[in-house]
Chains A and B, each alone.
Chain A
């Protein structure tokens, strides 16, 4: 396809691929030349995971037009599914020889990520069927509750491996052998197999999948339902089908992000994926511009690294986020506020012209 023929949507899509490529090259150069602090280097995989989260939540909030406040729940499902599968696959392996075998590590990572995505998609499907019949605030409240339910379920889930295999239990006293998941204590002894490069590959795949979906027949239908539900129905679109499609795809991507995130740490607790994380991802989406994938990528990258760079303010981080979110909401949704801003600029410009 030559450039003249490309429509604006595919141009934007290719811009995002370019952005991710540049992002990867810059950080890879910084990493290999050791021009990056170790704390920032440690933030790279979470940063990519949050970028995936932001893009996937944007599919629900921006493209499908539904407010979901439980996205961390899907991340959590993906994360712990991946951790459990990794533990099951690598149990009985010699850790040092496993660490040396790159091919095996990649195979386990791929399996764990796919498992995380599938489990999150299943969760998304089960939640989506009842929830997507709700609208607006009600949908937001139920998704919020879902995120909390997942977290609390994980608090009472114990997973262990003994001689007869993998066991799931709700009773802490029954745990024998190697503990994989220890209730509120989370997963222990996770082998760190995800890497920055693997994250970038996943981010690429997810960007391709989501952007292609948006620019396809199904994506058009999803956006049409967002723009005018009644007209969409009258045009022969089955609302629930397309809402569910966006929701499940988004959940699967969040599961992928969760898997990538969890396999970067040796311990991971369910509390990590609570309401705050859901809101954090929503902040990326809102700050980057609802429906704007490029904005989501940039906002996620900057806001993940920022607290690391401004460590002294970390206690106030959530406070600042809340204020920023409120202000951005006001700015984007309040017509009077927008008019005021544009008027201010207009007056300024008009004044300048008079002075000339």
Chain B
């Protein structure tokens, strides 16, 4: 794509083909994937995946069903180990990391099919997110030493504070699996936020939400970005949400990026239109 950089409102090119919002141009990229790829047996699910995410960028990853979007998330969070390529998190190679250690390093995610801890309460779900920030060990817990009460109180307050972002503090004692669908999605985001990430990966956060809930979610995603100063990368089929809040968008088809740019660039990209709608039969 050889478009004029001036035409992108507030979006600048930093190095090579990487574009980030103007405010992030002097800060290092929070996440960088280079030549990323994975094969399942003989099938190449993702290939030559190159992206760079700015420190407080909201980036969208879209594409038709089966394009490999969730696979990309699974690669970034090490659920799958990549066959090829490198992932840099804050400039640090994540090679050989486990999903747990990559989370500690700063990537948190939600799942397309909601994965909550069903039998735990809403508050406990958030406390699992806070787990690595609660400072007491097994024996302190077993024998209820003073530190246990101090740290649990801190965690309780922090959990309620985080739940308050989505106005869920009132449901803190409800079991996670008895929450309505939309609330479960929101809880997943809160839990991911609780781990203290530098980048938040949201896999179809608006799936199953009605238009007003989606509207609310869009506001909240921007609120989260501003309040925590983190980057957000999201997979979504709801184009209103994607075009509304994403500053840059990458389009994936058959495991390869076919376009990268601002929302208006993507909307007018012939390759993207073809991938979504097919080509008109001549004749």
- Apart from the given pairs A213-B138, A226-B119, A231-B111, 19 other A-B contacts in the complex at a CB distance below 8 Å: A209-B142, A212-B142, A213-B141, A217-B152, A217-B155, A218-B138, A220-B131, A221-B131, A223-B117, A224-B128, A227-B119, A233-B79, A234-B115, A235-B128, A235-B195, A236-B103, A236-B132, A237-B100, A239-B100
Q: How many residues of A contact B (CB 8 A)?
A: 27
Given contacts A217-B136, A218-B141, contact A234 B128 (CB under 8 A): no
Write out the residue numbers on chain A whose beta carbons fall within 8 Å of the beta carbon of B256: none
Alpha-carbon distance between A232 and B119 when the two chains are bound, in angstroms: 13
A238 at the B interface (CB under 8 A)? yes
13 contacting pairs across A/B (C-beta < 8 A): A217-B136, A217-B155, A218-B138, A218-B141, A220-B131, A227-B117, A232-B117, A233-B99, A233-B100, A233-B103, A234-B79, A235-B129, A235-B191
B99 — which chain A residues lie within 8 A by C-beta? 230, 233-234
Residues of A within 8 A of B136 (CB): 216-217
Taking the closest CB of chain A, its distance from the CB of B28, in whole angstroms, is: 23
Q: Interface readout for B148-177 with A: 1 if CB under 8 Å, 0 if not?
A: 100110010000000000000000010000
On whether A236 and B131 interact (CB within 8 A), knowing A216-B148, A227-B117, the answer reads: yes
A219 at the interface (CB under 8 A from B): yes
Report B-chain residues with C-beta under 8 Å of the C-beta of A223: 117, 119-120
CB nearest to B105 among chain A residues: A236
A307 to chain B, nearest CB (A): 34
- In the bound complex, residues from chain A placing their C-beta under 8 Å from that of B141 are 212-213, 215-219
Closest to B137 in A: A218
Once bound together, how far apart are the Cα atoms of A228 and B143, in whole Å?
A: 27
Which residues of A lie under 8 Å from residue B111 when comparing CB positions?
230-231, 234
Compute how far the CA of A188 lies from the CA of B216 in the bound complex, rounded to whole angstroms.
74
A212-B143, A231-B115, A233-B100 given; A220·B128 CB < 8 A: yes
For A220, list chain B residues within 8 Å (CB).
Answer: 120, 124, 127-128, 131
Report B's interface with A, CB cutoff 8 A. 77, 79, 98-101, 103-104, 108-109, 111, 115-120, 124-125, 127-129, 131-132, 134, 136-138, 140-144, 148, 151-152, 155, 173, 191-192, 195
Given the complex, which residues of A lie within 8 Å of B117, measured CB to CB?
A: 223-224, 227-228, 231-232
Please give me the residue from chain B that is nearest to A217 by CB atom.
B134
Q: How far, in angstroms, from A126 to B195 measured CA to CA in the complex?
A: 32
Closest to A229 in B: B115
Q: Give the chain B neighbours of A234 by CB distance below 8 A.
A: 77, 79, 99-100, 103, 108-109, 111, 115, 192
Contacts of B103 in A (CB 8 A): 233-236
- The residue that B118 contacts in the complex, of A217, A228, A230, with Cβ under 8 A, is A228
Main SS class of interface, A: helix
Q: CB < 8 Å: which of B115, B129, B144 contacts A212?
A: B144
In the complex, how many residue pairs between chain A and chain B have their CB atoms under 8 Å apart?
101
Q: How far is A217 from B108 in the complex, measured between Cα atoms in Å?
A: 20
Closest 6 CB pairs of A and B: A216-B141, A231-B115, A236-B103, A227-B117, A233-B99, A224-B117
Q: Tell me whether A245 is interfacial, beta carbon within 8 Å.
A: yes
Give B127's nearest chain A residue, CB to CB: A220
A residues neighboring B (CB under 8 Å): 7, 209, 212-213, 215-221, 223-224, 226-228, 230-239, 245
A346 to chain B, nearest CB (A): 21
B118, closest chain A residue (CB): A227
Q: Which of B131, B134, B195 has the most CB of A within 10 A?
A: B131
> Pick the contact of A235 from B131, B142, B144, B151 — CB < 8 Å?
B131
- On whether the beta carbons of B127 and A216 are closer than 8 Å, the reply is no
Q: Which of B115, B140, B144 contacts A230 (CB 8 A)?
A: B115
Tell me whether B77 and A236 are in contact (CB under 8 A).
no
User: With the chains together, A337 CA to B127 CA distance in Å?
Assistant: 36
CB-CB nearest in chain B for A215: B141
A1 nearest CB neighbor, chain B only: B149
Q: How far is the CB of A147 from chain B (nearest CB, A)?
A: 26
Point out the residues of chain A lying under 8 angstroms from B151, CB to CB: 217
Q: Which listed residue (B100, B109, B127, B129) contacts A238, Cβ 8 A? A: B100
Docked complex Cα distance between A245 and B142 (Å) = 12
Residues of B within 8 A of A215 (CB): 141
Task: With both chains docked as a complex, state the minimum distance between the C-beta of A138 and any C-beta of chain B, in angstroms.
Answer: 21
Residues of A contacting B173 with CB < 8 Å? Answer: 7
**Residues of B contacting A217 with CB < 8 Å?**
127, 131, 134, 136, 141, 151-152, 155
Q: Is B142 in contact with A216, judged by CB distance below 8 angstroms? A: yes
Contact A245 B119 (CB under 8 A): no
Interface centre among B79, B117, B143 (most CB of A within 10 A): B117
Give the docked Cα–Cα distance between A239 and B79 (Å). 13
Nearest Cβ on chain B to A12's Cβ, whole angstroms:
14
Cα(A232)–Cα(B191), bound, Å? 10
Q: Please state if B98 and A233 are interface contacts (CB–CB under 8 Å).
A: yes
Residues of chain A lying within 8 A (CB to CB) of residue B109: 234
**Distance in Å from the Cβ of A79 to the closest Cβ of chain B?**
24
Q: Closest residue of chain B to A7, judged by CB?
A: B173
Instruction: Write out the residue numbers on chain B whose beta carbons fall within 8 Å of the beta carbon of A224.
Output: 117, 120, 125, 128
Distance from A172 Cβ to chain B, minimum over Cβ atoms (Å)? 42
Contacting pair A236 B100 (CB below 8 A): yes
CA distance A242 to B114 in the complex (A): 23
